[in-house]
Amino acid sequence: MTIREGQPAAHSKHVRVAIAQSAPVYLNKQASLAKALDLIQQAAKSGAQLVAFGETWLPGYPAWLDVCPGAALWESASAKDVFARLRANSLVVPGEEVNALLEAARDLKIAIVIGVNERVDAGPGNGTLYNSLLTISEDGQLANHHRKLVPTYTERLVWGNGDGRGLQAARTSAGRVGGLICWEHWMPLARMAMHNSGEHIHVAVWPTVHELHQLASRHYAFEGRCFVLAVGLLMPAEDLPRPLRDEATLQSADTQWVERGGSAIIGPDARYILDPVFDREELLVSELDLTQIDRELMTFDVSGHSARPDLFRFEKRV
């Protein structure tokens, strides 16, 4: 994996962040965890205080929902087999794999944001999978646990609805860090809950950060006056599970990659600090100047003077 670095900021209050744009070992929890731990170590060696991974990085995004039409057929034996593999390789929170990530964060003094497929083994929710985003502080604590509020379109075949308990920013050595998952970035009230939490850095996780997702990520940075790490996944076409792979309807541009990455870092003025990177594994590292947030708040503060609480009331119930 190559390492790309942005230019250092010119002022004080610097923090160093990293995006791990890399493919997991698809539907293999233990091998993916080992790869994640290696990438976390690389990020720490680069001086990063925070490293972010993409949507459901452990153990991979169910892209077969979008490119394998037979996956949606009732009583599809192939889809059931793949779903069973996904369940078996999903994480329990808290659990053994989460503990390994907590230990790595504590030992390396680095905060981690990582997307996971979450399995509930007992109690309410038993049998359901969730699209979850875990934020781990540099002292090895699970600082936030967010479940995607509404699975998007075909994702409803795999994941259940999340809840609002994770709509908050967590305190880390890199500042207050929050995150949303994919199309949650078009949910205005979810965005408002996150803006009210005072994010310095927002982690926006996507399967691929294509043009529309870049637009949403840049809008979020501008609206929230925060830095955005737009994190995309990599998934080689050969990772599509057989026999679903045999019926995949891939575009010519997708014959090598189903998910192409597109990770980028965006400033609170919506300008790119690191331009999008596609079609290769790369550790993107950049130094951010958090005082840029203070400068941009002069013209717009969505949670402050621009919120007009005398006219509007926002209530987060959880």
- Provide the annotated active-site residues: 55, 148, 182
Residue appearing with tokens 């941009």: 296
Residues 16/286, Cβ–Cβ less than 8 Å: yes
Q: Burial code of 144-172, b = ≥16 C-beta within 10 A, e = fewer? A: bbbbbbbbbeebeebbbebeeebbbbbeb
Residues 240/267, Cβ–Cβ less than 8 Å: no
Quick count: other Cβ atoms within 10 Å of Cβ 30? 13
Instruction: Compute the radius of gyration of the chain from its Cα atoms.
Output: 19
What does the block give as tokens for 291? 């005082």
Length of the chain: 318
* Exposed/middle/buried for residue 46 (C-beta within 10 Å: 0-12, 13-18, 19+): middle
